[in-house]
Amino acid sequence: MPDVPATPAPEDDRRWLERTIELSRRCPVSTTAFAVGAVVVAGDGAVLATGHSRESGPHDHAEEAALAKIVPGDPRLASATLYSSLEPCTRRASRPRTCTELIIAAGVPRVVFAWREPDVFVDCTGAETLRDAGVEVVEHPGLAAAAREVNAHLFTR
């Protein structure tokens, strides 16, 4: 029987989420999309990939950018955690697949996010969609204010 990695400690989750918020600060400013950072961490604690919104194009989402850097079927994904500063999307107009669909298809078993997506652009049900697919979802609302602060310009219109 293969070794099953232990669930990361809460302090590790917090550290990785803080890293996603740092990454979100790299996003080009947009008035039509959130600034988001993502980190994919293997079960052994190794960083598989990072990404941020609009990293290589105006329609890139952070989770999408990070997952695109990992070879599909990489066995480390089976024990990985995807960390995101914002709840992964369930609707988007700019791409055929949502971030929740990409996460599920990649086989990532655990997602941790800081801020539940507010209904600014679309109605998002990312946490529920992932849970329904068998993904463990952990929300850390204690870091939501920091993730929201990066996107404050969207709320001052």
Catalytic residues: 63
Residue carrying structure tokens 């994904």: 77
d(CA 30, CA 76): 33
Question: How many beta carbons lie within 10 A of that of residue 152, not counting itself?
Answer: 9
Q: Which helix (H) or strand (E) holds 106?
A: helix 99-106
55: left (phi over 0), alpha (psi -120 to 50) or beta: alpha
The dihedral built from the CA positions of residue 103, 145, 124 and 29, taken in this order, carries a sign that is negative
Integer angstrom CA distances of residue 75 from 40, 90, 119, 149? 13, 25, 35, 36
